[in-house]
Amino acid sequence: MTTPYEVAVRAEAELGEGPTWDAVTGRLLWIDILGRRLHTYDPATGRRTVRRTEQHIGAVKPRAGGGLVLNLRDGIGLLDPDGGFRWLHHEPVPGRRANDAAVAPDGALWAGTMRYDEAPGGGTLSRVTGDGSVDVVLDDVAVSNGTGWSPDGRLMYHIDSPTRRVTVFDHADGRITGRRTLAEIEEGDGFPDGLTVDAEGCVWVALWKGAAVRRYTPDGELDRVIELPVSLVTACAFGGADLSDLYITTARVGLTEPPALAGSLFVVPGAGKGLAHPPFAG
């Protein structure tokens, strides 16, 4: 099934990623990892802002006390409401950078990393609490990408992109067990990248080099496909006042002749019903 899309923001992001709805401000947050830019977009007014970051940025999420938490190349940083920056956890690792991240139901940030050369086992997925304590949950990933939770919080989904698999774990008290495969992307259909979970418990997966977003049921059945005019589809998230619009980020990095819309932010109005995500408890 193909669903009509619209261009929310025409852009040329090198590696657009991490769309996140900020319910307090009514804005969509998204980033350009390699372009070192933090974008905001207000769909009600069309207003946009762009802030440059000092280093590659893997993800941005709202904070409970105001401001933003950033998954940066050298660790977890905090932007305060007044625009000031400080490190919550600073851990530079040569050859490694931050990648996708998500906030769990308890307010902890699950932050992914990867090596620039994408070496197997070079990345991690860590749980970061509001006081800055860090627990490495997975230490055997190559490209830690989409992370999300079921509506009841009892399941956690995660993607290590080169494996082509969407993995599901049992989740309780900040711990995961019982790793198994929810879905596997067929050869030639791209690589799973970012993901989001909707109110029905279905998992929406962006396909890098796949020009699409797929929705899988909790049983792993493919039941919907959104086709896009660009191949490098990176991540998706529900936004808007009623969380019914699906926002989709894209990229143009490595393309010798990128399509006109590569790197833009797309939206599919009324695509479904998203889950409200808690802010980072820090």
In a domain, 107, yes or no: no
pLDDT recorded at residue 145:
98
In a domain, 173, yes or no: yes
Q: How many other β-carbons are positioned within 10 Å of the β-carbon of residue 93?
A: 13
In a domain, 211, yes or no: yes
In a domain, 13, yes or no: yes
Task: Report the alpha-carbon distance of residue 275 to residue 128 in Å, rounded.
Answer: 21
At residue 46's C-alpha, the angle toward residues 45 and 47, to 5°, is 90
17 labeled part of a ligand binding site = yes
- Per the residue annotation, which of 22, 32, 160, 193 is the catalytic one? 193
Q: Which has the closest alpha carbon to 273: 239, 235, 225?
A: 239
36 labeled part of a ligand binding site = no
* 241 in Cβ contact with 23 (< 8 Å): no
Residue 173's SS3 state is coil
pLDDT recorded at residue 1:
47
pLDDT recorded at residue 4:
87
Judge whether 152 counts as a catalytic residue: no
173's CB contacts (< 8 A; 6+ apart) are none
pLDDT recorded at residue 8:
98
Domain of residue 150: give its range.
Answer: 6-61+145-268
Q: Which 8-state DSSP code applies to residue 201?
A: S
pLDDT recorded at residue 3:
61
257 labeled part of a ligand binding site = no
Q: How many other β-carbons are positioned within 10 Å of the β-carbon of residue 127?
A: 19
97 labeled part of a ligand binding site = yes
Longest dimension (CA), the chain: 47
Task: Report the alpha-carbon distance of residue 7 to residue 38 in Å, rounded.
Answer: 19
In a domain, 116, yes or no: no
| CATH number reported for the structural domain that contains residue 190 in this entry | 2.120.10.30
Number of domains the chain is built from: 1
In a domain, 91, yes or no: no
In a domain, 156, yes or no: yes
pLDDT recorded at residue 122:
97
Task: Report the alpha-carbon distance of residue 194 to residue 248 in Å, rounded.
Answer: 10
- pLDDT tens for the 282 residues of the chain, in order: 456 899 999 999 999 999 999 999 999 999 999 999 999 999 999 999 999 999 999 999 999 999 999 999 999 999 999 989 999 999 999 999 999 999 999 999 999 999 999 999 999 999 999 999 999 999 999 999 999 999 999 999 999 999 999 999 999 999 999 999 999 999 999 999 999 999 999 999 999 999 999 999 999 999 999 999 999 999 999 999 999 999 999 999 999 999 999 999 999 999 999 999 999 998
Enter the tokens of residue 194: 């970012």
Distance of CA 23 to the CA centre of its chain: 17
- Report the first-to-last Cα separation within the chain, whole angstroms: 41
In a domain, 139, yes or no: no
Burial class (CB in 10 A: 0-12, 13-18, 19+), 221: exposed
Q: How many other β-carbons are positioned within 10 Å of the β-carbon of residue 244?
A: 17
